[in-house]
Structure 1
Amino acid sequence: MDTVKVRLQVNPERFNGLFRCIKETWVKEGIKGYYKGATPPLVGWTMMDAVMLGSLTQYRRLLRKTTPNGVLHLREHALAGLGAGFTVSLVAAPVELLKARLQVQYSAAQRLYTGPLDCIRKTVGQHGVTGLWHALPATLIQRSFFSVYWGTYYLTTVALRKLSNNKLSDSSLSFWGGGVASQAYWICSFPLDVVKQRIMTDVNYNFKSWFQAFRDVYRKLGLRGYYNGFVPCLLRAFPTNASAVLVFDTTMRVFGKIAARKAEEQQ
């Protein structure tokens, strides 16, 4: 679904809608076509999630020191999300650049790169090491919307607790909160994601700034251009984010209990 999303974002003129993109990819490239560019995220997204969730936890700890009784509310959760978004952008920019460039190689005749290592080698050879971070400004802006993500997560879990009279389990709250938060995040950040993907797949680096790419989308496609690939993005976002947040929160609770037990034993 991510491959379909990126292809629709970058080349909407080539594919007349979601199902046309799915069908044409299958007919011309087979099942492998959907997994082009899979290696960078297979490794990179592990690091990205670790950096994002790890930094989120640290920012939350810092903000607890500034609030009465150490209780975080909407503002603190949004600020922690903003900080985590900025932090993870440093890792996300090169990983997503490699992924996007491999995803839009539609045929052997159009293939510029034989794989992720070849993509790194050619990108660095043409533009230096900093070329891998070519889309960093757009990535920073797009991932600043993690403030919306974690703010929405907080509001959703609070609302669900009230609606259920505290009868929902912590796992259920994490799952539904993560899923709903992902929808809010993508609704707000998707136009910037379109711009980011276009910058990342601009192998000649014609765009000198994210705003130039932003204007180019509007000039060529109008407002609708900012939401090409939106449907597969939402379809993918809910289950993946709901599951990810569920695992993260459950892991943190387990380790929290282990740490508390060890502290009691030491006393």
Structure 2
Amino acid sequence: MVIGCCDARRSAHRPASPRSVIYLLPQSQSQRRTEVGVCCFPQCFFLFPVSDGLKMRPQYDGVVHCMKTIWKLEGIRGLYQGVTPNIWGAGASWGLYFLFYNAIKAYTREGRQTELSAGEHLVSAAEAGMLTLCLTNPVWVTKTRLVLQYNADPSRKHYKGMMDALVKIYRHEGIPGLYRGFVPGLVGTSHAALQFMTYEGLKRERNKYKNMPTESLLSPLEYITMAAISKIFAVAVTYPYQVVRARLQDQHNNYSGIVDVIRRTWSNEGIEGFYKGMVPNLVRVIPACCITFLVFENVSRLLLGEYH
């Protein structure tokens, strides 16, 4: 997929493909300076799922071009647009998820000597995901709204920051506004469920291969490898829900619901529309996932006195 360039002079000389290039109407240089996007480095990847052809969208050739354009227009501040809810959301989500997941696993295993099956890991992870989403969905709505503000002029932005966005969304849209995309988010709990089921299965098989107890501590490289494999598998299977959820939370488009998003995406972009940005997304999430799982495994063992 190619995202069209924000420079009208360049795009005017490019071959047209309605499914792969997004166009901008001609505009003056001064207008371009105030309307080109404002995502931070991680959020350059986030713009791909919502690139549905609307003319007000930022237009980039790719991640590198996105970063260069934002740097020229807004400097370092523009590269970190939406980073606050991203930090809060990611930190709270992982912390709550591991808390719920391990609590549910412990409850399920209480009084048993046998290991949990793959299905039980799947159910435990899904339940943990649903509980986590109930608490963190407003943060992700806020992140989406902040990232998808396309004015480079800070004085013309509707949301000034995370708390301002939370207050304004609640004031104008109520609780439903803070929980936009919640239903596809629930569907998305299957992502984490598949990831944890795969991760736990890989750990079990690795320890079995090494003739070690199931919960034995593995090497950092082994944890990183298993985390990466499980993440790739989960993303490949469940990515379309992320596209649907992001578009529902986008303030620049008005969908009547999940069915409307799916219908319009399919009609306008075909099957490719449901996988927009998957590769850049993998590039972004795999390193974070590997680090998170590695730190969790080692810190939890250290706290339990099992670290050698």
Aligned amino acid, residue 92 of structure 1: T
Distance 1:227 1:27 in 2: 29
In the alignment, does 2:180 pair up with 1:134?
yes
Tell me how far apart the structure 1 counterparts of residues 264 and 50 of structure 2 sit (CA, whole Å): 12
Q: How far did 1:60 drift?
A: 0.6
Amino acid at match of 1:117: M
Matching residue within 102, 113, 122 for 2:159: 113
Residue of structure 1 in register with 2:238 after alignment: 189
TM-score by length of structure 2 reads 0.75
Counterpart contact for 1:40–1:96, Cα < 8 Å: yes
- Select the structure with the greater relative contact order (CA < 8 A; seq sep ≥ 6): 1
Q: Report what 2:280 is aligned to.
A: 232
**Fraction of identical pairs, as percent:** 24
For residue 222 of structure 1, give the secondary structure of its aligned residue in structure 2.
helix
1:53 and 2:102 are equivalent in the alignment: no
Give the letter for the 2:223 counterpart. S
Greater radius of gyration (CA): 2
Aligned residue pairs, count: 256
Structure 1 letter corresponding to 2:180: H
Q: Find 1:10's aligned residue among 44, 50, 55.
A: 50
Consecutive aligned runs of 4 or more in structure 1 exceeding 4 Å deviation = 162-168
Displacement after TM superposition at 1:242 (Å): 1.0
Deviations 1:69-109 (A, max 9, x none): 14122112111111111111112311111111111223235
Q: How far did residue 150 of structure 1 move? A: 0.6
Query: What runs of 5+ residues in structure 2 fail to find an aligned partner?
Result: 1-40, 54-58
Question: Any gaps of 5 or more consecutive residues in structure 1?
Answer: 259-267
Match of 1:264 in 2: none
Q: Displacement, 1:165?
A: 6.3
The answer to whether the Cα contact below 8 Å between 1:8 and 1:17 also exists between their aligned partners in 2 is no
How does the TM-score come out when normalised to structure 1? 0.85
1:159 Cα deviation after fit: 3.8
1:26 and 1:187, CA in 2 relative to 1: closer, same or farther beyond 3 A?
Answer: farther
Q: Is the 8 A contact 2:223 2:294 kept in 1?
A: yes
For 1:143, the aligned partner's letter is T
Separation (CA, whole Å) in 2 of partners of 1:135 and 1:214: 13
Verify the 8 A CA contact 1:2 1:233 in the aligned structure 2.
Answer: no
Could you tell me whether the CA contact under 8 Å between 1:190 and 1:227 is conserved in 2?
yes
Letter in structure 2 aligned against 1:194: V
